[in-house]
Structure 1
């Protein structure tokens, strides 16, 4: 059976509706998966208008019964016309509480439906963190909100992937001055385990993982910091002892030269991996929210308020997120009890 993907448009002030319209308008994607779109109908229509594409869809008032609706032709996306507590119309190209509320409410419905098995995975278009905070999001980012909703058993966090290379990070959305104090052997091992288990769910049987240092030249034997000696090196050795195929640690300015030798790189902080990955292919990068009991992914770029309505948003990263989710959804179906 084809996987069923729950899709939401992200922040309506940005390029999300256009990206979703481009993704679903491709007949090849509709052959690979069934789509349940959770969105304000006017927003979906606006996305198709901006993208210059068109596809038929079936409306439902009961998304939990959408796959049983006799009027739904095979391959036809199903739309649940829903906007939660948000008010329409939406302001464009600006962060607002209304747009943030719409993004959060539609995303929560997608998560609930996937937890309940109505859909197999969640694909969401770009969010705007300021909009979500204006709407009342109490967490630094959506990843920790997902964890509050889903209560994962074990490490969780964002992983980024591009052309088969994945990155996991020990710290994420924190001030750079706080990074050193937050790096522990336990957290490094958690990032390694998170990378390994997430890649396995995406179809990589035995992920090869490289670990990055923190300081210039890996601290140069303690001359520029001791994190490599006291924390990172011991964590790498502990991971090897636990059976993980780990190499490193390598300095941040050279580790990505080894990208073809490994499946994943564990970095110590956000920009160690993000700068390299976005330079390698900004329009193709994907963020996967790993360690959660359901597959969730999104393009790694933002809402691009500056090009809203211009019809030139690149669907490459959204397409890549969909591709990964199809693989993860099939794995989830084969092992429904896996976290």
Structure 2
């Protein structure tokens, strides 16, 4: 049996529906074993605008009914109550709730073994929260739905890969909560993840917290008290790990091939270099879940939603990578 991927619509008022159609309607992914979980009526509205390649939409009763052929997009329908009232590029409670329901439905399919991986289109956090789903993002939502304790966000390109110790928390809270156990856990997840995707002996670099990795305590002691001991503990377990490394150079070193992945301490430390070097082809992966989850590495882009301007490369690559890793 071929591996089937669930593709969640994300916020329907954003670019998610558009980039999903662009990804699946033509090219290498046309006819690929992917089932969209989203609002069929919204996809029809996008097709009617003429801003995407045309495709035949097939609404399924179950994943088992899917028929994969060029030009066909299979859909597990999660309908909006009033799809015609949906406004492009606007934060809406109904849209935030739909984004949540799509992820929940896809997760149920994955846990039941009906799909083997999930690729997610972007959701809007404000809309998600307005609908009463108080999660910082996909990563935390998926962890809750799967009862996963140890998880991490991986940003993935061919030449640069980053996994984060923390993501969607304030910098002040990050410094207050940073601890050796979490750093060790993320180093271990980096090693397990890379081995899962084909690296025999992953070379892991761990970024420091402070400028120049603290300069031996001159600019802070987090490297001495927390990060350094975590690195040494994981070295003792046989992992090929280096650090703490100065954050202003380690990402370039990884990009140039000295390391296979960087453990970033907080959200922007890892996201800024990754998005600078791989904004259009970067993929977001959640490590630690019981199934593979990938995502386009950008937001809902409300300012260009439903205009035909959205680039679909990151969405398409996330679907391709989910298939490969599954």
Gap regions ≥5 residues in structure 1: 330-339
Distance in 1 (alpha carbons) for counterparts of 2:236 and 2:16: 44
Task: Specify whether residues 231 and 164 from structure 1 end up closer, same or farther in structure 2 by C-alpha distance, changes over 3 A only.
Answer: same
Correspondence for 2:43: 44
Correspondence for 2:78: 82
Of stretches 1-10 and 94-103 in structure 1, the one that deviates more from structure 2 is 1-10
Correspondence for 1:333: none
Partner SS for 1:136: coil
Correspondence for 2:132: 136
Task: Specify whether residues 47 and 196 from structure 1 end up closer, same or farther in structure 2 by C-alpha distance, changes over 3 A only.
Answer: farther
1:27 deviates by 4.1
Give TM-score, length-normalised by structure 2: 0.93
Q: 2:25 touches 2:73 (CA, 8 Å); kept in 1?
A: no
Distance in 1 (alpha carbons) for counterparts of 2:146 and 2:87: 31
In structure 2, which of residues 192, 217, 228 is the aligned counterpart of residue 222 of structure 1?
217
Q: Please provide the CA RMSD for this pair.
A: 1.8
Partner SS for 1:222: coil
Correspondence for 2:98: 102
1:305 deviates by 0.6
1:88 deviates by 4.5
Correspondence for 2:273: 276
Q: 1:214 touches 1:252 (CA, 8 Å); kept in 2?
A: yes
Q: 2:156 touches 2:284 (CA, 8 Å); kept in 1?
A: yes
Correspondence for 2:185: 190
Gap regions ≥5 residues in structure 2: none
Give TM-score, length-normalised by structure 1: 0.89
Distance in 1 (alpha carbons) for counterparts of 2:46 and 2:54: 10
Q: 1:86 touches 1:101 (CA, 8 Å); kept in 2?
A: no
Partner SS for 1:123: strand
Alignment size in residue pairs: 322
Q: How does 1:1-339 map to 2 (within 5 A)?
A: 1-30=1-30, 33-48=32-47, 49-60=49-60, 62-67=61-66, 72=67, 74=69, 76-83=72-79, 88-152=84-148, 155-259=150-254, 260-329=257-326
